[in-house]
């Protein structure tokens, strides 16, 4: 796959951010030192006005005492304006953990904010909060500032950047994440039409004819445990197989021998569904 291209200025900005974080990581900087680096990245990589769009130590009132989230990204201004992303920051050399997500998720839920950004300046994780009963958080994207490809990093920071957030890009991202679930994708791959296409392409490229069941088994072997669980919940309707059989054709010519055969296609009928619906979801 060809590498994505980014302009020189963007590449330079990413490299400067990497250098900042590498230096503070080498010095094992504290949270305040890490915060200053992240503060600069909000402006240089994400395009925010740090005085207008970023609120530091944002107050969150819950059932108990008032707590404070490290950053709140707010596009609209005014007393009634709500944050669009709650940002929780950890010291540069602290590994991000579930307890950190739980902490910032509680802030987001109390604030009614759907998006969470958790970072230690090296690792970045974007989560969505669904306000059901109970509320749920889902990891949408993650990236590593020090090791990921610069073009990919540019895309990820633009995704949470000012222009995209202002245009409602995060809502589009959430809709796409809901569509591209393992169950939906597997359902498309294992549809009758897809299995027919795969059989045809395999026959064309290998000159070997495989059965629909062979294809389902091959897909199963490609999956990890989580995807296999999703697969067990999918009803798989295999395409009908057709084969050629010789049948006798009436001979109207006295000069021809009786029994001359012609080819006719017959259908074997519907095949059984193979999904085990009793498997745990």
Q: Tens of pLDDT along 233-262?
A: 767 777 776 655 555 555 544 444 443 333
pLDDT in tens, 124-166: 999 999 988 888 899 999 999 999 999 999 999 999 999 999 9
Tell me which residues of the chain have a pLDDT lower than 70.
1-3, 61-64, 225-227, 230-231, 234, 241-281
pLDDT at residue 46, rounded to an integer: 95
Q: What is the pLDDT of residue 246?
A: 53
Strand segments, DSSP code E, in 63-106 are 66-73, 85-89
Look at residue 226 in the predicted model and tell me its pLDDT.
67
Residue among 179, 173, 74 nearest 128 (CA): 173
- Left if phi > 0, otherwise alpha if psi is -120 to 50, otherwise beta: which for 227? alpha
Mean pLDDT rounded to a whole number for the chain: 81
What b-and-e string marks burial along 217-253, b requiring 16 or more CB atoms within 10 Å of the CB?
eebeeeeeeebbebbebbebbbbeeeeeeeeeeeeee
DSSP 140-177: EEEEETTTS-HHHHHHHHHHTSHHHHHTTHHHHHHHHH
The per-residue pLDDT for 261 is 36
pLDDT of residue 71: 87
pLDDT at res. 182: 78
Q: What is the per-residue pLDDT for 180? A: 79
pTM of the model: 0.68
| pLDDT computed for residue 63 by the predictor | 57
Can you list the domains of the chain with their CATH numbers?
A: 8-169 (3.90.1570.30), 184-248+257-267 (no CATH)
**For a pLDDT cut of 70, what percent of the chain falls above it?**
80
Tell me what pLDDT residue 39 has. 92
Q: Contact, 37 vs 146, CB < 8 A?
A: no
pLDDT at 275: 35
Closest CA to 69 of 80, 61, 60: 60
Q: Between 212-222 and 225-232, two packed helices, what is the crossing angle to 10 degrees?
A: 140
């Amino acid at each position: 796959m060809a590498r994505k291209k980014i302009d020189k200025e963007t590449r330079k900005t990413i490299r400067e951010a990497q250098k900042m974080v590498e230096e503070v990581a080498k010095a094992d900087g504290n949270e305040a030192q890490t915060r200053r680096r992240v503060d600069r990245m909000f402006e240089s990589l994400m395009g925010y006005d740090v005085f207008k769009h970023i609120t530091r130590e944002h107050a969150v009132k819950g059932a108990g005492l008032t707590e404070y989230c490290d950053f709140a990204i707010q596009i609209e201004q005014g007393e009634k304006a709500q944050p669009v992303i709650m940002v929780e920051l950890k010291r540069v050399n602290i590994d991000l953990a579930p307890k950190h997500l739980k902490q910032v998720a509680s802030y987001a839920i109390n604030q009614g904010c759907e998006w969470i950004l958790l970072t230690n300046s090296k690792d970045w994780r974007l989560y969505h909060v669904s306000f059901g009963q109970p509320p749920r958080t889902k990891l949408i994207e993650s990236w590593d500032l020090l090791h990921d490809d610069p073009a990919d990093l540019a895309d990820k920071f633009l995704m949470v950047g000012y222009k995209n957030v202002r245009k409602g890009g995060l809502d589009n991202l959430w809709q796409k994440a809901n569509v591209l679930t393992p169950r939906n994708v597997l359902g498309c791959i294992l549809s009758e039409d897809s299995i027919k296409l795969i059989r045809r392409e395999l026959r064309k490229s290998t000159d070997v004819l495989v059965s629909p069941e062979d294809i389902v088994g091959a897909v199963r072997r490609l999956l990890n445990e989580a995807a296999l669980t999703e697969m067990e919940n999918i009803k798989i309707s295999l395409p009908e197989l057709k084969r050629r059989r010789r049948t006798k054709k009436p001979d109207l010519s006295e000069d021809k021998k009786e029994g001359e055969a012609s080819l006719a296609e017959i259908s074997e009928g519907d095949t059984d569904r193979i999904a085990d619906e009793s498997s745990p979801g």
